[in-house]
Chain A
């Protein structure tokens, strides 16, 4: 089944481009340290998911590019075409002349309805190119106007037009110390609206990725391109083909569906965090060796201590002792810094995978009480190594990972809202104070739900 990617706004388009780059260079640039047959299956599965075969020499990404101003899209299209490895469909983009001005209301209430038909036509065309549609993957930032506002509107349209398809929103959390002054308002409105139409929100935080670039990748002058490449690498580690069943013979054909099934058991809990290890500069790779037990141990501790990367993990954090056998929904005996999970997914890529012990992830004390630990945890594997890392492990987690960032954003937005600053910019385009209050209520509800896990 194929995934149609919708790239929204400057951020969405810049990242989307790096994602297809990463997928392509993984498939073509490395041979995965596995058998030729394995490699070929992997290649075919990846192709099916993300690229279509047309009468061009290079694979064509299954993507729709949307932006309200032309500069970024024209750059993205031309750079992709020049790579010689893959390209976008020349007709599969929509842009206008004047951007959304970082105004969520402009993106949602003005650009959305105005351009709905044109955008949905493009999406329909891409969907029809798929033999079987596996769902939609949208990439957007929360801070701006187009990705956030128009992105929320488009997600709603996708839900209306494709009621049974899976929709995964990849959302970029802006730097805490502002990129955009009204970013907290835009984020608030985006998250509350996406929560209604999306199946899950997969989040990347700029601050976290920036730290990874600085401390792990050792990049001196970090550019957005560097940040986007790390993000693309992490996404690739989730979306490249895997075997989802133990002893499976074929690569799974339904990545989005599988993801939702394993991680989103309840519609109130849709916030997914992503961790990927190891992460290091390319020239260090030949000098490093990894063991599965080591990687798994680190990943598990990153999960329970809510560490954002594999350096500086707090090893003191331990799961709570489950004293009583009666599960209580308000577990007051959980240590303060412990990150409680609803469901987790670990993805392992690389050789020597026999006898890997993932029991530590199945420990019931990691999870809330309302799912069976067997259902709460899943593992996907493939012997085919990913992107020059002979072994790599990714964790997609529906847990309290994003509770603090969410609380921060809502807190700051509330603070600003209390003074009524900038509200006139939104009411100008039809988003009123009541709409803000609705969004606050919705997100406080989500915060509350995640807090009492």
Chain B
């Protein structure tokens, strides 16, 4: 069994991260009734003896003493991290896992990446090493951040770089929240494009998320609950947006519902690595199967179901509905429709009481309506994990490597160019030590190249299929 470490950077990263740890505890508590520290817990948590002040050796077996998250919390402002440390999760983190400063990054990628990066480099490396030492077999770093600001975007991608240098063998999965069109941070296009270059070059897999999609899902659920349709009640803890059953007893903050969705995404992604099933899907398999070319590692994700009805006498047509929903526009976590674009690869991670025949039936059913690239017509990777998420009997996470990410990137590029042409706000960046005009031109060039790669693939869509001729053997 392997371990993973979560590195949460910036306000967004830490708020999402906080929800992740909360829901992770909830999930394990539901599965682990006896309170024994087992291998699945160890993938994200350490078990320490609190008497020695959290400094003592980890306890590998036996009863759970005190669980500590395998995490690093980084923020250049204190507000968010302080709140976490005063909240119900304070015992899950210790002070040695935090790196904070006071003044923030001013929504400036250069401040986050060059200034703070340089300043905190050694500190970060040291803390990473410590976390890695506590791991028996470290498999993956999960970075959570936003792209539009300064800390998450700048310092977050600095850490990404660092991870590649210091831990080249460990996978780097990045969950990135992309800014929306109406983002109130004027410089978010600069920050995002500068960060994109780093993601292109140093991440193994990126899961892009857009706030608008999360918002739409939250609204959809709201409507569902308030409409009182069917007279059935929704199971509270099954909502993909809910914190019910977790440590949060205080009134939920506005972003909590949205952040819970992302937290659930990460839990589902790692479920097959943590729990048993008839067809396991580990994190290294995700990277192997979904990344056909090194730079095309952006995966569009969708989660279903969004809620479970409390009435259990619902027929199993719902199972097939779950698969259909995973491909519908309004379940995707970015504003896009994969059905009308080209699939390079698709992964389906199913949890709960679902068997291989259900999986096969639905793949057969949905395949005709999806466009797959010519050299990967059966590009499906599947996983079956026996343990369902809290409140559900089954669930599905779909990860698509699909050209439908292209519009997001094109928009980003356009917004960047609008500012860059006028050299707006550029001086805020250029006066930071280590920052030059070339950083900008290289970044936009990297993004353009990426868009071009997707364009080339799209050009093959719907064209005539000529399979390359096979090797001829002399008889």
Q: What is the interface of chain A, defined by CB distance below 8 A to chain B?
A: 10, 14, 69-72, 75, 97-103, 145, 175-182, 210, 213-214, 219-225, 227, 410-412, 414-416, 418-422, 424-425, 440-441, 444-445, 447-448, 452
Name the one of A97, A222, A444 contacting B2, with C-beta atoms under 8 angstroms.
Answer: A97
Contact A179 B380 (CB under 8 A): yes
Name B278's closest neighbour in chain A (CB-CB).
A224
Contact A70 B287 (CB under 8 A): no
The residue on B at minimum CB distance from A181 is B289
| Closest A residue to B274 using CB positions | A71
Contact, CB under 8 Å: B375 / A178: no
B77 touches A (CB below 8 Å): no
Please give, as numbers and ranges, the residues of chain B lying within 8 Å of A221 by CB-CB distance. Answer: 355, 357-358
User: Cβ of A424 and Cβ of B279 under 8 Å apart?
Assistant: no
Q: A69-B282, A97-B137 are known contacts. Are A103 and B288 too (CB-CB below 8 A)?
A: yes
Interface residue ranges of B272-324 to A (CB < 8 Å)? 276, 278-280, 282, 284-285, 287-294
User: When chains A and B are docked, how far (Å) is the Cα of A38 from the Cα of B381?
Assistant: 49
Asked if B473 is at the interface of the complex by the 8 Å CB criterion, the answer is yes
B1 engages A440 (CB within 8 Å): no
The residue of chain B having its C-beta at the shortest distance from the C-beta of A219 within the complex is B357
Q: How many residues of B contact A (CB 8 A)?
A: 48
Which has the most chain A C-beta neighbours within 10 Å: B137, B285, B288, B363? Answer: B288
A418 lies within 8 A of B364 (CB): no
**B352 contacts the other chain (Cβ, under 8 Å)?**
no
Output the nearest chain B residue to A103 by Cβ-Cβ distance.
B288
Contact of A222 among B284, B345, B355, B380 (CB under 8 A): B355
B interface vs A, CB < 8 Å? 1-2, 39, 136-137, 139, 276, 278-280, 282, 284-285, 287-294, 344-345, 355-358, 360, 363-364, 367, 374-382, 384, 467-468, 470-473, 475
Residue numbers in A under 8 Å from B377 (CB-CB)? 412
B residues near A71, Cβ cutoff 8 Å: 1, 39, 276, 280
Known: A224-B355, A225-B278, A414-B468. 15 other contacts (CB 8 A): A10-B280, A69-B2, A97-B137, A101-B288, A103-B288, A222-B357, A223-B278, A223-B355, A224-B279, A227-B356, A415-B467, A416-B375, A421-B292, A422-B292, A424-B294
In contact, B375 and A421 (Cβ under 8 angstroms): yes
Taking the nearest CB of chain A, how far is it from the CB of B34, in angstroms? 16
Instruction: Name the CB-closest residue of A to B378.
Output: A178
**B285, A101: Cβ atoms closer than 8 Å:** yes
B279 proximity list for chain A (CB < 8 A): 10, 179, 224
**Sampled A-B contacts (21; CB under 8 Å):** A10-B280, A97-B1, A97-B2, A98-B2, A101-B282, A177-B360, A180-B285, A181-B290, A181-B376, A181-B379, A210-B360, A224-B278, A414-B468, A414-B470, A415-B375, A420-B293, A421-B344, A422-B288, A424-B294, A441-B471, A444-B472
User: Inside 8 A of B344's CB, which chain A residues have their CB?
Assistant: 421
- A residues near B358, Cβ cutoff 8 Å: 221
Asked if A182 and B367 sit within 8 Å, CB to CB, the answer is no
Is the CB–CB distance between B376 and A421 below 8 Å?
yes
Give the CA-CA distance A177 to B1 in the complex, in Å: 29
The answer for the CA separation of A100 and B281 in the assembled complex, in Å, is: 11
How distant is A375 from chain B, measured CB to nearest CB, in Å? 25
In the complex, what distance in Å separates the CA atom of A420 from the CA atom of B471?
Answer: 16
